[in-house]
Structure 1
Amino acid sequence: MPRPRKVLIAVEDTPYYHVVSRCVRRSFLCGVDSVTGENYQHRRAWIEQRIRLLASLFAIDICAYAIMSNHLHIVVKLQPQQATDWSSQDVLLRWTSIHKGTLLVQRYLKNSTLGAAELDTLHSCIDVYRQRLTSLSWFMKCLNEPIARQANKEDGCTGHFWEARFKSQALLTEEALLSCMAYVDLNPVRADMAKTPEESDYTSIKERISPSFDLAQAITEQTNQGNLQHFYYPLKPLMQFEGEQIDKTQLGILFSLSDYLELVDYTGRAIRPDKKGSIAEHLPLIMRRLNLNQLGWLTRATQFETRYTTLFSRRAHRDTA
């Protein structure tokens, strides 16, 4: 029986979540249609642009993402504390980047004079918008709905584009986070869409290795498509790797980027009979440094969705240690 979203997403338990959205009937609506031969690969760029722009507006950081031909993966870190530092003006500008806002909000942003009662209503709107800008559900709503409308418009049809609401998995341990990120970044390799991670288009690992995201182009295209009202913010970088733990507050991933790349490379070299692609066999020293059980790690990182339906729990971590 499906569980309420508020039960599945609880920042007090963990800020890290793995999110999956699949195209209706798992059709290749972002790839090559096997029946008509039509190529919809350009839609993967739409989704990548949308993810990166929304992350810069929401109090949500992106750890990893992979946009495939019939589904997408995102690993996020919820950062509600970021929103507490935003001014009222900042909240309104962020929200109206993707929504028009109420007439009262529009009047306020045009510097119109508001009465006391109107200001009270405005502050209530700001509180609602601030909360929404920290919500994973609203993030996915603002991602999926415009993409569906745009694709339907291109195809001259109506109906569902995504098969259901997004699925989410809580990542309660550092190992859960790293194995899920590796699983996501290796999706194109496993599907034999790319030979190596650095050749995997529309993935976070390619962005980390060779940054090529064009913010100006993304803003122009999303605005022309009617998916963006305005955008006044710099592009928020992907969640940073911070290496070894040090004696100060750390907001990034407690792992070095070079070690993560080695880890992904090692994991990708494991041959899976149920997948088309892999990387040549190699065993880096990173596994010994992390003191991880190699078989357990490979099982978790290559079969993440099937083994953990909604939760990668501390109990599962203990049982396989």
Structure 2
Amino acid sequence: MYSINICAYAVMSNHVHVVLHVDKQGANSWNLEQVLTQWHRIHKGTLLTQRYLKGERLSEAELQTVTDTAEVYRQRLYDISWFMRNLNEFIARAANKEDECTGRFWEGRFKSQALLNESALLSCMAYVDLNPVRANIATTPENSRYTSIHSRIQAMKCNSNTSELLPFTGECEQHDSKLLSVGLPDYLELVDTMGRIIRDDKPGYINSNYAPILSRLGIKQMHWQTLTTSFEKLFSYAAGCEVTMRKFKQNTNRQRVRGIKNAKLLSHAS
């Protein structure tokens, strides 16, 4: 609903980390109805905006009021403060309901830092994804539950996308400026390398006896490169590992499905 993309996240026992990309351009491209629809997914709006979306007849003065209100909503929909306000409220309500209590849940307002270049972005993402390892509650990134890197790895194993996360280059067929400019395997290697560095101020790190993360996950760089550069040529009606491709062939009563041989690439890359 917000014109804000999530690059990375880590949900810890008493705090949350998120790395966000604000898509102001995307919000500015929305028309009046799109802005109101997005806002009404999380807020009631006003009586006039509700009437407008129902298609009721409004006077010129009322339409102008709706337009002015929508511009306020548009700015809020790419505002980090409003995003965090709704996120924190949702978590607080859920936690209080679970604990059967009321009252203030968060200690204070969130803190934020601007990431001004690609190296800062990737470093911060890796820092966030390594939180469970550094806290010594996970041994490797791939078993760090409730993190973006865990979510990406699970999606990769299922040959799907993590739609809630801003994709890396090669993770989807998009070709726009919102893609993270490195490939997922490169990012995994970055996280793995950073996680092996022993820090005096943190109890956890990735054991040096573990194989590199791409080896642990069975990813071969050449297979991944082939997939991300020739995906449409390699597959036709469907794409997946060899087992899922053969099930698709059987379930759709097809005599043949182009790409079953190429499915071995996905088996080796996931």
| TM-score, reference length from structure 1 | 0.59
Query: Which of residues 30, 53, 64 in structure 2 aligns to 1:109?
Result: 53
Query: Which of residues 199, 206, 231 in structure 2 aligns to 1:272?
Result: 199
Q: Distance in 2 between matches of 1:153 and 1:251?
A: 36
- Would you say the 8 A contact 1:241–1:252 is kept in 2? yes
Pair 1:236–1:81, CA change in 2 (3 A): farther
Q: Is 2:139 the counterpart of 1:195?
A: yes
Q: Is 2:111 the counterpart of 1:142?
A: no
- Would you say the 8 A contact 1:67–1:73 is kept in 2? yes
How far residue 84 of structure 1 moved from its aligned partner, in angstroms, is 1.5
Q: Secondary structure at the match of 1:254?
A: strand
Query: Which of residues 106, 116, 119 in structure 1 aligns to 2:63?
Result: 119
Query: Structure 2 unaligned runs (5+)?
Result: 157-161, 213-270
Query: Which of residues 51, 74, 92 in structure 1 aligns to 2:18?
Result: 74
Counterpart in the other structure of 1:179: 123
- Would you say the 8 A contact 1:58–1:134 is kept in 2? yes
What is the RMSD of the two structures over their aligned residues, measured on CA atoms?
2.1
Counterpart in the other structure of 1:242: 169
Q: Distance in 2 between matches of 1:266 and 1:254?
A: 19
Q: Is 2:93 the counterpart of 1:166?
A: no
AA matched with 1:138: W
- Would you say the 8 A contact 1:152–1:158 is kept in 2? yes
Q: Distance in 1 between matches of 2:59 and 2:95?
A: 43
Query: Structure 1 unaligned runs (5+)?
Result: 1-56, 213-234, 285-321
AA matched with 1:271: I
How far residue 114 of structure 1 moved from its aligned partner, in angstroms, is 1.1
Q: Percent identity?
A: 58
- Would you say the 8 A contact 1:242–1:250 is kept in 2? no
Pair 1:269–1:150, CA change in 2 (3 A): same
Query: Which of residues 89, 100, 113 in structure 2 aligns to 1:156?
Result: 100
Counterpart in the other structure of 2:228: none
Counterpart in the other structure of 1:304: none
Q: Secondary structure at the match of 1:66?
A: strand
- Would you say the 8 A contact 1:270–1:278 is kept in 2? yes
Q: Residues 152-200 of structure 1: CA distance to partner in whole angstroms, max 9, x if unpaired?
A: 2333333221111110011112221111111100001111221111111
Q: Is 2:179 the counterpart of 1:252?
A: yes
How far residue 87 of structure 1 moved from its aligned partner, in angstroms, is 1.6
Counterpart in the other structure of 1:221: none
Counterpart in the other structure of 1:296: none
Q: Distance in 2 between matches of 1:278 and 1:147?
A: 29
Q: Residues 251-301 of structure 1: CA distance to partner in whole angstroms, max 9, x if unpaired?
A: 3222221111011011111122332321122898xxxxxxxxxxxxxxxxx
Q: Secondary structure at the match of 1:267?
A: helix
Q: Which has the higher contact order (CA 8 A, sep 6+)?
A: 1
How far residue 78 of structure 1 moved from its aligned partner, in angstroms, is 0.8
Q: Residues 218-237 of structure 1: CA distance to partner in whole angstroms, max 9, x if unpaired?
A: xxxxxxxxxxxxxxxxx844
Q: Residues 7-38 of structure 1: CA distance to partner in whole angstroms, max 9, x if unpaired?
A: xxxxxxxxxxxxxxxxxxxxxxxxxxxxxxxx
Counterpart in the other structure of 1:13: none
